[in-house]
């Protein structure tokens, strides 16, 4: 059983909040939390649904959510917008661009005295405008920063097309929608990546499980973090079996539908064997069969090691996923998977980087394939708390052609993602 919580605070004496007001579209890295404050019930989720970071299991009435929400609600966004548009930062910032359009307002605040006192201090209010090029396309965001009294004090521009940076306990990468409302159907997700080689994690070892893993995959879902268990995915599972401080590495190609069945290893009888080594170029795709004119409750999978000569592939389909006939996100992820050895959960293996490229999706309403940097990506870092926060895997910025790199930092506390110890 897992509890999945969208993060509403970071542990410690200070909590940084980024809030959006009157947002029409949010595609800047300056927006850190666009997700609602909610605490989902305990879910019995199979492998690979995401867990958002929290330092322990706080109840809704034992956090500073309400004071932070009150601070957010008190912002007069109309005055903030008027002051921003009359500032010199605005007139300078829109020079050379076309059709500046008001986008949103967000507040940065922190709790300088933690729960139960919950003293909130506003650091800034920020007004966002979308700037366009001569053909009407989006060019960048202009962000006018104001002090708590709503006086303009500076400006920045944001060009990275990322809605937000979220935090999960077991995922790092991008969840990508086809439009800003995340209402369009994503029928096809694919990517190439350079297969990470698992190494012995000097920051924490492989713990009581005696094995560490790192998994790379592509998938389709219809809720952030697959909180409703609707996720179809495929990729490569890499294990580190340590001997001292070195690893015997092994690799498994797999595919999975959370609703219609568990993880299936690729073998000659389940789609084909794929021999993988660290550093190989891997291609994976997850497809709703409606793309091929088939059933929207059938998902098609392919995992191919293109380095092999000839290339080795696992190709399979799973039927019966009637709960997700119109996925709205494509996923491109590095994960520490849920698996147990001797009754213990495996922690994250060490690795250098996990580099994705040509990450792309077919969005039904667009009618063509698009690299994910041209769509609506939500970035996620892998982070764990016990009780202080540790960044395990950091998601890199997207560049052209759907290219990004996830970077390993530490495996500390990753074995607690599914069975938190007493910290």
pLDDT digits (tens, 9 = 90+) for 312-325: 999 999 999 999 99
**What's the count of helices (H) and strands (E) in the chain, helices before strands?**
3, 23
Beta bridge partners of 305: 282, 312
Could you report the per-residue pLDDT of 143-181, keeping only the tens digit for each? 899 999 999 999 887 654 444 567 888 899 999 999 888
Q: Indicate the residue among 158, 187, 221 that finishes a domain.
A: 158
Which single residue is written with the structure tokens 């607690």? 416
Q: Is the pTM of this model over 0.75?
A: no
Q: Indicate the residue among 120, 139, 158 that finishes a domain.
A: 158
pLDDT given at position 8? 25
Tokens (6 digits) for 198: 């698992």
| Whether residues 180 and 317 fall in one domain | yes
In the DSSP assignment, the letter for residue 349 is: P
Residue-number span of the structural domain to which 72 is assigned: 17-158
What's the alpha-carbon Rg for the chain, to the nearest Å?
A: 22
Which DSSP helix (H) or strand (E) runs through 92? helix 88-93
The lowest-confidence range among 18-22, 48-52, 80-84, 396-400 is 18-22
Q: Is residue 4 part of a domain?
A: no
Q: Are 55 and 3 in contact (CB under 8 A)?
A: no
Q: Indicate the residue among 158, 181, 204 that finishes a domain.
A: 158
Q: Is residue 163 part of a domain?
A: no
Q: Is residue 152 part of a domain?
A: yes
What are the two backbone dihedrals, phi and then psi, of residue 253, each rounded to the nearest 5 degrees? -80, 145
23, 113, 127 from 68: Cα distances, Å: 18, 12, 19
**Dihedral over Cα of 5, 255, 218, 300: its sign:** negative
């Amino acid at each position: 059983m897992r509890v999945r919580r969208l993060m509403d605070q970071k542990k410690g004496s200070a909590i940084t909040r980024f809030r959006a007001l009157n947002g029409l579209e949010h595609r800047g890295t300056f927006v850190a939390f666009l997700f609602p404050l909610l605490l989902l019930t305990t879910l019995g989720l199979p492998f690979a649904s995401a867990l958002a970071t929290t330092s322990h299991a706080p109840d809704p009435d034992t956090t500073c959510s309400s004071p932070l929400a009150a601070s957010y609600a008190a912002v007069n966004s109309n005055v903030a917008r008027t002051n921003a548009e009359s500032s010199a930062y605005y007139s300078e910032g829109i020079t050379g661009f076309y059709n500046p359009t008001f986008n949103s307002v967000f507040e940065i605040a922190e709790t300088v005295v933690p729960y139960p006192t919950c003293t909130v201090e506003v650091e800034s209010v920020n007004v966002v405008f979308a700037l366009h090029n001569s053909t009407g396309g989006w060019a960048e965001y202009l962000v006018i920063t104001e002090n708590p009294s709503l006086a303009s004090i500076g400006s920045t521009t944001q060009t990275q097309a990322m809605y937000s940076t979220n935090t999960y306990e077991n995922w790092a990468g991008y969840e990508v929608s086809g439009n800003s409302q995340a209402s369009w159907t994503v029928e096809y997700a694919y990517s190439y990546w350079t297969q990470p080689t698992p190494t012995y994690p000097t920051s924490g070892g492989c713990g009581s499980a005696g094995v560490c893993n790192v998994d790379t995959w592509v998938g389709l879902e219809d809720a952030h973090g697959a909180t409703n268990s609707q996720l179809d995915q495929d990729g490569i599972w890499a294990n580190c079996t340590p001997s001292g401080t070195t690893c015997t590495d092994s690799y498994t190609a797999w595919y999975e539908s959370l609703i219609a069945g568990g993880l299936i290893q690729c073998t000659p009888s389940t789609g084909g064997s794929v021999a993988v080594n660290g550093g190989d170029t891997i291609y994976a795709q997850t497809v709703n069969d409606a793309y091929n004119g088939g059933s929207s409750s059938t998902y098609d999978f392919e995992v191919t090691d293109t380095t092999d000569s000839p290339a080795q592939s696992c190709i399979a389909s799973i039927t019966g996923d009637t709960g997700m006939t119109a996925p709205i996100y494509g996923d491109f992820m590095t994960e520490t998977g849920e698996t147990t050895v001797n009754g213990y959960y495996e922690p994250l293996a060490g690795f250098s980087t996990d580099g994705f490229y040509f990450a792309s999706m077919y969005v039904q309403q667009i009618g063509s394939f698009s690299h994910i940097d041209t769509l609506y990506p939500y970035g996620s870092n892998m982070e764990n708390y016990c009780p202080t926060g540790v960044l395990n895997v950091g998601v890199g910025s997207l560049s052209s052609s759907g290219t990004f790199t996830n970077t390993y930092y530490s495996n500390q506390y990753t074995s607690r993602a599914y069975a938190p110890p007493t910290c």
